[in-house]
């Protein structure tokens, strides 16, 4: 993870990460994130999309709590024409006992039969020159990849810790690095990124 914000380092899904890549800690990952950009069609007709991760008790007592292999997640959103907040609740299990950047998701409740695979491609903080608003939460960002399922195509999301979103400079840096990833699927998906509507816009 690029804590200084000087560079954006992304990895290729399904492979070992590059030497200069560091996955985010679980404490960095937990909490609420705002989906600011995506390639997933379902978010085109939605606004104010958030994902909240909560650390759960590890599946084995030998695993430290701050390195848990289990995550609760709650997605919330509104349609473009309604103020009603919709939710999707899921449970995540780490796919590799030694890593925390690849997860298997399964829905809860009525969505228990639904499942998917997702990975963290990169994370970090905005560079000092990008963080212009003095918002202590503004700097954190996350890039995720979602594998294709029976009902949804493969996709990319960009998350911001702050509801104000990321500075365009940061978004451009992320897009530039996505275009360089040694993976044709990611390169093609990166061309389809769109801004997810936030608030009343």
Give 4's pLDDT tier (boundaries 50, 70, 90): very low
What confidence category does residue 201 fall into, taking pLDDT thresholds of 50, 70 and 90? low
Does residue 174 contact residue 144 with C-beta atoms inside 8 Å?
no
Please state, as a whole number, how many other Cβ atoms lie within 10 Å of the Cβ of residue 139: 22
> Is residue 9 assigned to a domain?
no
Is a pLDDT exceeding 50 seen at residue 189? yes
Domains in the chain: how many in total? 1
| CATH code assigned at 94 | 2.40.128.20
Q: Which residues pair with 144 in a beta bridge?
A: 120, 157
- Cβ neighbours of 85 (radius 10 Å): 10
Whether 60 maps to a domain, the answer reads yes
Q: Model pTM?
A: 0.89
| CB atoms near residue 62 (< 10 Å) | 6
DSSP 187: H
Query: Would you say residue 56 lies in a domain?
Result: yes
Average pLDDT over residues 103-125: 83
Mean pLDDT of the chain: 89
- Is 193 within 8 Å of 156 (Cβ atoms)? yes
Residue 179 is predicted with a pLDDT of: 95
Q: Where residue 6 falls among pLDDT bands split at 50, 70, 90? A: low
CA-closest candidate to residue 157, choices 123, 129, 133, 180:
123
Mean pLDDT of 112-138: 72
| Range 26-47 average pLDDT | 97
Residue 20 is assigned to a structural domain of this protein: no
For residue 8, being part of any structural domain is answered with: no
What letter would DSSP give residue 87? E
The yes-or-no verdict on residue 109 having pLDDT over 70 is: no
Q: What are phi and psi of 12, to 5 degrees?
A: -90, 135
Tell me whether residue 38 is in a domain.
yes
* For range 28-44, the mean pLDDT: 97
Residues 56-64 have a mean pLDDT of 97
pLDDT grade, residue 86 (50/70/90)?
very high
Q: How many residues does the chain have?
A: 201
DSSP code per residue over 121-166: EEEEE--TTT--S--TTTTEEEEEEE---SSS--EEEEEESSTT--
Which tens digits make up the pLDDT trace of 65-81?
Answer: 999 999 999 999 999 99
Predicted local distance difference test score (pLDDT) of residue 76: 97
- 5 belongs to a structural domain: no
Range of the domain at 74: 26-113+123-195
Burial of 191 (0-12, 13-18, 19+ CB in 10 A): exposed
Secondary structure letter of residue 63 according to DSSP? S
Q: Is residue 155 part of a domain?
A: yes
Percent of the chain exceeding pLDDT 70 equals 89
- The 10s digit of each residue's pLDDT in 132-187 is 555 545 589 999 999 998 888 999 999 999 999 999 999 999 999 999 999 999 99
Q: How far apart are CA 8 and CA 126, in angstroms?
A: 9
Report the C-alpha gap between 43 and 197 in whole angstroms.
9
């Amino acid at each position: 993870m690029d804590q200084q914000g000087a560079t954006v380092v992304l990895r290729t899904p399904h492979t070992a990460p590059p030497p200069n890549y560091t996955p985010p800690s679980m404490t960095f990952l937990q909490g609420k994130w705002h989906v600011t950009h995506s390639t997933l069609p379902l978010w085109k007709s939605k606004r104010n999309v958030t994902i909240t991760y909560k650390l759960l008790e590890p599946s084995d007592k030998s695993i430290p709590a701050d390195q848990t292999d289990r995550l609760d997640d709650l997605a919330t959103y509104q349609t473009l024409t309604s103020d009603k907040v919709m939710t999707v609740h899921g449970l995540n299990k780490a796919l590799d006992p030694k890593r925390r950047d690849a997860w298997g998701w399964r829905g809860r409740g009525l969505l228990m039969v639904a499942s998917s695979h997702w990975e963290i491609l990169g994370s970090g903080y905005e560079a000092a020159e990008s963080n212009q608003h003095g918002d202590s939460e503004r700097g954190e960002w996350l890039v995720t990849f979602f594998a294709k399922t029976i009902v949804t195509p493969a996709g990319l999301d960009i998350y911001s810790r702050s509801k104000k979103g990321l500075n365009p400079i940061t978004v451009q840096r992320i897009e530039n690095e996505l275009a360089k990833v040694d993976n044709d699927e990611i390169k093609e998906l990166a061309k389809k990124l769109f801004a997810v509507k936030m608030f009343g816009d």
